Structure formats: C-alpha cells, structure tokens
C-alpha cells in the first residue's frame, strides 16, 4: 500500500534517517522512545508533512509534490488533538467526516466506545480518556484504507484499552493500521508487525515473535543491593533484601535464568545510547 524508500526528514537535525518500509494491509505497531521520530513518520504517512529526501509511493504510484492521494487514503488521529472544547463529540465527528465526504456508522461507534450518553456534551467537560475515545471514534468512522493512530491508548484505563483492542482486531481486515505506543502489552496482543525507531532509524522490523528473539539473557536473584548489576528491569523488596531482575551478564553466581519479555528485547535494542 505505502512504500517508503530511504526516507529522510530533517528539521534542525534529522528526525528520520533512511527509513525504508513496505507497509501493506495489517496492524503495525510503532515503538521508540520520545523523540525517536514516530509522530514525524505518521504525519508523513498521513500526507501532512513532506520528507526532505527519499521516495514515497502509494499503491505502486510514486508521489510527486502533491499529497492529495495520501490525504484521501489515510486518516491520522494525532497524538494530542486540539479539539474545540465548546463543541460536542457528535458535532465534531459529523463535521470532520463531512469534510471527508464520508458517511459512516457514527452512532454505532459512539455506542461501541461507550460515548452515547456524553455525545452531546461540550468536549471541554469530558475527561482526557473520554476525549481520547472521541478521537478513536472519529478515526474508525472515517473508514479509510489507511488508519494512523499516534499513541491511541494514552490516557485510556484498562477497560477502555480492552475495548480499543477489540475494535482494532475486528476492524483491521483489509486496512493498513499503523499505531505508535509506549505500552508493550498493546504490541503483544494486537500487532502483526513491530517497527522500532531509534533516533530516526529503523532498528527492528518484524513480528512480535521476531522481536522477542532479540531479547538478551535475563537473570533474577535475591541481592542485598543493586550494585554491580547491568540493566535492572524490575526490583521487588523481600524479607532479606531485594529480588532483582536484569538483562545482560549473569553478574552473580546466585543468578537464575528468567523468561525474556518483549520489553527486555525493546530495551536492549534501543538502549545503545
Ligand atoms: P516521537 O513521536 O517518536 O516522540 P517526533 O517525531 O515527535 O518523535 O520527533 C522526532 C524529532 O523531530 C525530535 O527531535 C523532535 O524534537 C523533532 N521535531 C518533531 N517535529 C518537529 C517540528 N515541527 N519542528 C522541529 N523539530 C521537530
Ligand atoms: Mg510522538
């Protein structure tokens, strides 16, 4: 669907460097620390920003200067949408979709995301998590072949997150959905593919299982303190000291191997700097 070849985006310094990705139907999770380039990549995919180097093709057609085709194919839910606080969810979504000349099952989606009772209240009176769900209703209702969600689970409680996951799973068919997140459990359950950005570069591109294979050795032991341990990923107080979990060297003969997680793999491949 969307082909990126050696894409660069330079502001005062490079935000993306030589990013090459073939994005086809399926659910792609985008991981990376703050400042890694996730939002920049999503806004280029949405046709709202233009790369400074490299090529971009949509459905096999090279994009020239115009981003119109991309804007029509894709919907972006920005990381921090600034909606008019005086307007209601229903009015906002109807307005946004009219701009796109699309009819959609808005009422059904308001119901799915538990917004029916607040759909006519001014957005300024809603909590952050509720406003986040309004954004999700808009994005899903737009029903474009490409859906770009910038940190869509930010501010959602565990129930809301579950509802989002369900809806993502059922609506993914035939679409390309790219979403950025810091929540690794969102990746495990939801994504067919994980792209990890680090300092503007792609440092991983593969399935969650392939990411897990890149996890380093993980160890656990009871220790008096954390001195001498490499990268400690969790620590818990016990009766006689601390139960630490870390990645890297075995560090102490008392260490026992532990099951690596996606978080371990993610920390290991983005921890180089
Ligand atoms: P992420 O979403 O992964 O946190 P961003 O894509 O927002 O990362 O930012 C990547 C880099 O580009 C950062 O160094 C950020 O400061 C810079 N950047 C992003 N947007 C702009 C902009 N509009 N103008 C200048 N620099 C920007
Ligand atoms: Mg961002």
Q: In this model, does residue 105 exceed pLDDT 80?
A: no
For the chain, the structural domain boundaries read: 2-212, 218-269
Structural contact between residues 20 and 4, judged by C-beta atoms closer than 8 angstroms: yes
Q: Please indicate whether residue 31, judged by its CB atom, sits closer than 6 Å to ligand 1.
A: no
Q: Please indicate whether residue 152, judged by its CB atom, sits closer than 6 Å to ligand 1.
A: no
Share of the chain above pLDDT 70, in %: 97
Average pLDDT value for residue range 11-18: 97
Share of the chain above pLDDT 90, in %: 69
Structural contact between residues 110 and 91, judged by C-beta atoms closer than 8 angstroms: no
**pLDDT, position 108:** 86
Residue 13 binned pLDDT confidence (cut-offs 50, 70, 90): very high
Q: In this model, does residue 123 exceed pLDDT 80?
A: yes
| Alpha helices per DSSP H over 196-243 | 208-213
**pLDDT, position 82:** 84
Structural contact between residues 42 and 115, judged by C-beta atoms closer than 8 angstroms: no
Distance of CA 50 to the CA centre of its chain: 20
Q: In this model, does residue 104 exceed pLDDT 70?
A: no
Q: In this model, does residue 66 exceed pLDDT 70?
A: yes
Q: Please indicate whether residue 80, judged by its CB atom, sits closer than 6 Å to ligand 1.
A: no
Neighbours of 62 (CB within 10 A): 10
Q: In this model, does residue 84 exceed pLDDT 90?
A: no
Full-model pTM: 0.91
**pLDDT, position 185:** 83
Ligand closest to the CA atom of residue 80: 2
Cα 143 to middle of ligand 2, angstroms: 23
**pLDDT, position 102:** 57
Residue of the nearest CA to atom 21 in ligand 1?
11
Q: Please indicate whether residue 11, judged by its CB atom, sits closer than 6 Å to ligand 1.
A: yes
Cα 41 to middle of ligand 2, angstroms: 9
Of the candidates 177, 152, 174, the residue with the CA atom closest to the CA atom of residue 163: 152
Q: How many helices (H) and strands (E) does the chain have?
A: 9, 14
Ligand 1 atom with least separation from CA of 42? 6
Residue of the nearest CA to atom 14 in ligand 1?
35
Of the candidates 149, 143, 117, the residue with the CA atom closest to the CA atom of residue 130: 117
For the four alpha carbons of 228, 234, 237 and 239, in that order, the dihedral sign comes to negative
Question: Packing angle between helix 128-142 and helix 158-171, nearest 10 degrees?
Answer: 0
pLDDT in tens, 146-184: 999 999 999 899 888 988 999 998 888 899 999 999 988
Between 65 and 211, the more confident residue is 211
Ligand closest to the CA atom of residue 36: 1
Q: Please indicate whether residue 17, judged by its CB atom, sits closer than 6 Å to ligand 1.
A: no
Query: Domain 2-212 classified CATH 3.40.50.300?
Result: yes
Cα 154 to middle of ligand 2, angstroms: 11
**pLDDT, position 100:** 62
Between 102 and 132, the more confident residue is 132
The per-residue pLDDT of the chain, averaged, comes to 92
Please write down the long-range contacts of 238-245, taking CB distance under 8 Å and 24 or more positions apart.
244/220, 245/218, 245/219, 245/220
């Amino acid at each position: 669907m969307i082909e990126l070849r050696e894409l660069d985006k330079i502001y005062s310094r490079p935000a993306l460097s030589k990013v090459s990705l073939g994005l086809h139907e399926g659910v792609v999770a985008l991981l990376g620390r703050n400042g890694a380039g996730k939002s920049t990549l999503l806004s280029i995919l949405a046709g709202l920003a233009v790369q400074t180097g490299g090529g971009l093709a949509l459905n096999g057609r090279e994009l020239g200067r115009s981003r119109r085709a991309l804007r029509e194919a894709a919907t972006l839910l920005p990381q921090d949408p600034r909606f008019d606080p005086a307007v209601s969810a229903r009015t906002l979504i109807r307005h946004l979709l009219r701009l796109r000349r699309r009819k959609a099952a808005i009422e059904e989606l308001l119901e799915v995301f538990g917004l029916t009772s607040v759909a006519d209240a001014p957005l300024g009176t809603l909590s952050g998590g509720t406003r986040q769900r309004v954004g999700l209703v808009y994005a899903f209702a737009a029903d474009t072949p490409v859906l770009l969600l910038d940190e869509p689970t930010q501010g959602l409680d565990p129930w809301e997150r579950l509802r989002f996951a369900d809806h993502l799973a059922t609506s993914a068919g035939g679409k390309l959905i790219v979403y950025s997140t810091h929540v690794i459990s969102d990746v495990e359950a939801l994504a067919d593919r994980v792209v990890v950005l680090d300092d503007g570069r792609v440092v991983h591109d593969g399935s969650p299982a392939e990411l897990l294979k890149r996890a380093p050795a993980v160890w656990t032991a009871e220790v008096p303190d954390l001195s001498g341990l490499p990268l400690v990923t969790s620590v818990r107080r016990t009766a006689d000291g601390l139960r630490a979990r870390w990645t890297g060297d075995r560090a102490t003969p008392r260490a026992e191997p532990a099951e690596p997680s996606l978080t371990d793999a993610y920390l290991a491949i983005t921890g180089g700097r």
